[in-house]
Structure 1
Amino acid sequence: MHYVGLAYFTPDRFAELSPEEVKALVSQCPPLDARMRATGKVRVSASLGDLDTWRTLRPRNGATHVSDGPYAEAKEVVGGLFIIEADTHEEALRISAMHPAANLGEDVGWAVELIPLPFYLPG
């Protein structure tokens, strides 16, 4: 079974950190990412980049409306994602628990949401 993991953060809380605090937090991520990839079960892993470049497309009055994204109402936004292939739900949880957002950044609202994918078509 494949699972998608969505890594969340709270932009306002993250923005309150000093540059040194951001660097200290983010510098802890590569070893955790490497540990997760070393399982051989990670199919995709990506940061979603700068929120200022995001756009949201919605149908409106028969046309596609483009606006700044992410959703303005959300306090948390998805900042990264990963797709893993696991033999059991417990294995998926164990691998997901290695992600930086499941280990670090409690003060800035980091979290991981794990969602089973009933269908996955690798590219």
Structure 2
Amino acid sequence: MQYLLLIYRNEAELSKMTPEDRQKMSAEYGTYTQSIVQSGHFKAGDGLQPTTTATTVRVREGKTLTTDGPFAETREQLGGYYLVEAKDLDTAIALAARIPGARDGSIEVRPVMIYK
């Protein structure tokens, strides 16, 4: 079964990181990504640009409306994701717990809907 591991973090805290801390975090993500690629769990994944680059789209009464930024104001913002293949939820949770961002943010684990 496929699971989406959604990585949430506080962008304000991320922007306060030193270049050295950012480099260390990037290296940790690289190591993690390589480990799930080698184990066969990895399907896809990417980091996202900051929420300041986001545009929210709504269609109301046939008109397309856009708003700068994310849909909702929150303390943590979606920063990236991994799409993984896991035999069950427990395996997906174990993979999520190893994501470096789980230490200071949160990881949402959500099964991917299968259409038949």
Is the pair's TM-score, using the shorter chain for normalization, greater than 0.5? Answer: yes
TM-score (norm 2): 0.83
Q: Which residue of 2 aligns with 1:115?
A: 110
Q: Which residue of 2 aligns with 1:4?
A: 4
> Are residues 1:76 and 2:76 paired?
yes
Q: Report how far residue 17 of structure 1 moved.
A: 2.1
| CA distance in 1 between partners of 2:110 and 2:72 (Å) | 23
> Are residues 1:44 and 2:44 paired?
yes
Q: Report how far residue 97 of structure 1 moved.
A: 2.4
Q: Report how far residue 58 of structure 1 moved.
A: 1.4
Q: Report how far residue 11 of structure 1 moved.
A: 0.8
1:22-80 C-alpha deviation (Å, 9 max, x unpaired): 22322322111111222212211111224332211112343111121223512211111
**For structure 1, which runs of at least 5 residues remain unmatched after alignment?**
none
TM-score (norm 1): 0.79
Q: Secondary structure at the match of 1:28?
A: helix
- Which runs of 4 or more aligned residues in structure 1 lie more than 4 Å from their structure 2 counterparts after TM superposition? none
The aligned length equals 116
Task: Answer yes or no: is the 8 Å Cα contact 1:45–1:81 preserved in 2.
Answer: yes
- Aligned-residue sequence identity (percent) comes to 27
| CA distance in 1 between partners of 2:87 and 2:59 (Å) | 38
**For structure 2, which runs of at least 5 residues remain unmatched after alignment?**
none
Coordinate RMSD, CA, aligned: 2.1
Amino acid paired to 2:112 = L
| CA distance in 1 between partners of 2:33 and 2:83 (Å) | 13
